[in-house]
Structures are given as C-alpha cells and as structure tokens.
Structure 1
Amino acid sequence: MLWQSYIKGFKAYLKLERSLSGNSVDAYLNDIDKLSQYYQSLNVEPALNTIAATDIKLFISWLNELGMQASTQARVISGLKAFFSYLMLEEVIVNDPMALIEAPKLSRKLPDTLNIHEINSLIDAIDASKPEGMRNKAIIEVLYGCGLRVTELTELKISNLYPQIEFLKVIGKGNKERLIPIGGVALKLLDIYINQIRVHVKIKKGNEDFIFLNRFGAKLSRISIFNLIKSLAVTTGLKKTISPHTLRHSFATHLIEGGADLRAIQEMLGHSSITTTEIYTHIDRDFLRDVITQFHPRS
C-alpha cells in the first residue's frame, strides 16, 4: 500500500507525541483502514495528496450505504481528521480534505446505570469460596467505588495503592496520572485478595506489580472483565445490557444525585473537559420529584 509508510509515521506520532494508549492508537488506525477499504472497493489506490473533500463526501456516502451508525461514522471522521492533520504537519499534503467535513449530529444518549441494590446483587452473586471469588468481588467494588475505566483497572499496580491514606493512583488516558479516594469496603477486599489469595498465585515474570491476575499469574485482560460483568448479569437475572463502563456511569450518577461537586467528579473520572462530565447530570424523575417535595415551599 502506498500509504503504509505514512500510517507507520502516524502510529509513532500518536504513541510518542500524543501519548495515546494502545487501544486508542488501534482505533485511529482502524479509521484509516475504513478509508482504505473504500478505495479497495473501487479498485483504486490514490496518492494521499490527491484526495479532496469531494472524495471524502463520497466515502461518507459509502459508509451510509453500509448501514454504519452515525456514532461510528463520527468516530471514523474524527480519526481521519487527526490523520490528515498529521499529514499537513509533515507537509505530505498541502490541502486538508477534512477541513470542511463535519461529523453527523449525534443525539446525546444517557448512559445506562445500576442502582445500589443491583450493584449489591452483582457482588452477592460472586462465589467467595472459589479462589477467584474474592478477586472478582474486589474488581466490582473498585470499578464502582472509584469509577475506573476498564483499562485503568487492569493496569492497577500494588505500588500505586496507598491504603494508609485511602487513595490509589491511576494512569488514565494520555498517560495522565490522577489520585482517587478508595472506600473502606474496597480496601478491605483488596487487602484480603492481595495478602490471602494472590500470594498463592505463581506470578508470571513482568506481572509482579499488577494487582489483578488470572490463574496463570498474568494481569487480567479487558475481555476477562467484560465477561465477568456479563456473567454476573445473567446470574442475577439483570435485564439491562451492562459492561464495566456501566459501573463507572453508576459511580458518577450516584455522586451527582448525592450532591457532589461536578468539578470533583470531573477530577475523579479523569475527564479533560467538564462538558464530558455534564452528561451525568441526568437525574431520574423520582429523584427530582423527591427534591421538589422535600425542599420547595409550595410542594
């Protein structure tokens, strides 16, 4: 492919200059691959400096014909904007074909959440008599209690846990560090897992500092966490479609409903923009009704 050397350069740029995670880099490369697939369907491979805005519009029409959702299209367009901006920086192209391309308008979907009874039911469904049981309980407690992204959880290290002051250090998106308070229940479960269960695992070299390990002594994968959540939902008969991110959503929503400061929640979630955090300000009707009943003088 004529583009391959530029794609390799873009990959290095994302990793080294923008400090993006491997998952984020892969997402950007997948976006470029969509454009490559489009040109393969036309049996052409144009030079990057010949691609114009009209070509991109035809590509977007092709995505529409494939039935791609607006949210996915927006993701692809965002990735291509980053790629062509990089090509402009490297002076590979002189005109940016993405400059006047707008992503499709998206309706802001409110994230699914669990109430505290549903979260407790997930934790109660874990069989603590099995070796992985206490680990899994600790995983759910930390995901919900600290509002972590799934990758942040799998990358958690013992050296970044500070039980004396009840904080843990997290490496978030863009390798940004942040300190998050951790509650007593989560700390207790972590202590039991680390000092009573994990010590009996034969740890694979290079994984000594990761908190959550699989039975082979390697750090848990993202897929393992997703599968755990899905299986617990089935076990408890939960009808909602949930993922590890649902626990993060629930963490933020419950803090908002409890009256927590939005800026504090932004800091704990690791959002670079307050507008991202504002999506959690949705509050169910029953909660609003209770607020009016309790505080309004004419209620």
Structure 2
Amino acid sequence: MKAPLPLLAVAVLAVGCRPDFGTRSSRITEPRILAVQATPAEARPGEVVTYRALVALADGAPALSWSTCATSKPATENNVVGASCLGKDVRAFGGRGPETSGEVPADACTLFGPDTPAPRPGEPPFRPHDPDVTGGYYLPVRVDLPGSDPAVALERIRCNLVGASPEVARDFRERYVPNRAPHLLEVTAQVNGAPVALDALPADATITWRARWSGPEDAEPSAETYVVYDVASQSLVERRESLRVSWYATSGDFEADRTGRSEDETESFSENAWTAPATPGPVQLWVVLRDARGGVDFLALHGTVAAR
C-alpha cells in the first residue's frame, strides 16, 4: 500500500531546479543529487555530522561542494528553504567530494529553530520558527554538483522544547530519543510472483520491485517510536514514524515516483511496479528510504534488460 507522507520528511529538496513538465522525477537522464544521508540523523549544535551524497550518473567521486545556509528564511517566503540560500548567503562546510564532515553551527537553533536572537534596536522581537509535525527543526545543507542545479538536504537539529511547562519539558528530555536513520536492507525484483535476477530483467515486462527495511522484529527498526509535544493538549504524545521510498531509473517507467508506509502500517516493505524498456541494455536504478524525522538510507542498483 502506498501512503502520502508529510512534506518535511523529505531529506533532499531540489530547490532551484528548472521546471520540466515532460519528465517525471523518477526518470534520470543527467547527473543529479538524489539524496544526502546524515550520520547521526539528528544532532545538536556543535556536534560533528558526516554527510554522504547519492549522486546519479556521476563517475568516480564527484567534486561536490558543501555549505550551510547562513540566514533563516523570511516569513514572507513559502519555500522550505530561503531564496538567499541559493545565492551567496551560505557558509562553507567540510571538504569537497561525495562525503564530508563538520560541526553543526552553534547558532543553528537560533537561525532555524525555536531560539530567538535579541531584537535589533527599534525593531519588534523575532518570531520563533515552528517545528514540523514531528516536532523537528532542520538545518539546510546545500550541496553543489558542477553543471547541475544545487540541492538542499535538511539535517534534523535537536533544539530545546519551548512552550511547555517545566514538568512536561523535563519529561520530554527523559523520554525523547534522537532519530536514527532507517536501514534499507535489500531491493528485489519479481515478475508474476517469481524472482528475477538483476542481470536478466525481461524487456517490456511489468516488474514488481520490493524495497525491504528493518522491521519491528529487528534490534533497530526503521520506523521508530518517538514523543512529540502536542500544543493543543499541552502534553507529550507518542507517535511512530512513517516511511517513504523514492524510486529512480535511467529507463523504463515506474507506476509511482514514491511509495511508502504510514505511521499506522507495520509492514517493513514497499512495492512499486516498473515497466521495463522494450530495448535490451543496461539500466541503473536508485532507491531512497526516508523516515518522517528526516533520516535517510539508499541503495544503487545496476541491472540489465534482456530480450524476452
């Protein structure tokens, strides 16, 4: 079953991309950053985070450059990331390449979270940022691939709980567990219920792809249980993460660009139908798993479409 997920569960946003209404997001025809995995998946300001990018159609180690947004998004802008982050209003972060590490900026919770800086003389106080539906705040991390549009990954940052009573805030600190990234175990293919090898995908056939991740029976399930502060009841509410799978391929057509499981579904897999191209030849596929709190995992697959 496919389920819609909250917008802010997305870990990478292709902001600044030119609109192309003739091509679906699942079709890859040129180099593109598909996802960025952060380890740990949630960190406090000052903690070191390692970022690893999934780049489609890039040979070797692409010369990625990394930066973080230097200013918060104005209230007048509707985008998830402020337009200034696509210009020069960024801070260099880490090194170059598909993987880098660095500290979460000390002012991350001020720029992008609930902490508010002191107002400028003669100006009204700043309004704190609102959390997403999971209670989270996110540091925008910009990734630039030469010759391609920039991408922005949203790293979940752990900030203080505001607006709650001292008792609820203390309970939150004791119960809240920082997000861990989901674990994508395998991606397999079937035709009419029978397994199909990646190097023998039948041409012009409808192939069912299944992405499987760690489930409730595993030591670290991908769909974690967490607490979030509910403003209406002024209490903590326990929730379970939803999961979303994004599918990409260099040829063929997926039935859906994204599938997944809602927080009420306990199954640890998601399926998607793919119509293989009629012409035999190599095909590349990428599968990205995201949880509702911004954690990411991914797999890259190399297959061959064979004549039937």
Higher strand fraction: Structure 1 or Structure 2?
Answer: 2
Greater Rg over alpha carbons, structure: 1
TM bucket by the smaller chain?
A: under 0.3
Q: Which has the higher contact order (CA 8 A, sep 6+)?
A: 2
Taking structure 2 as the reference length, what is the TM-score of the superposition? 0.24
Higher helix fraction: Structure 1 or Structure 2?
Answer: 1
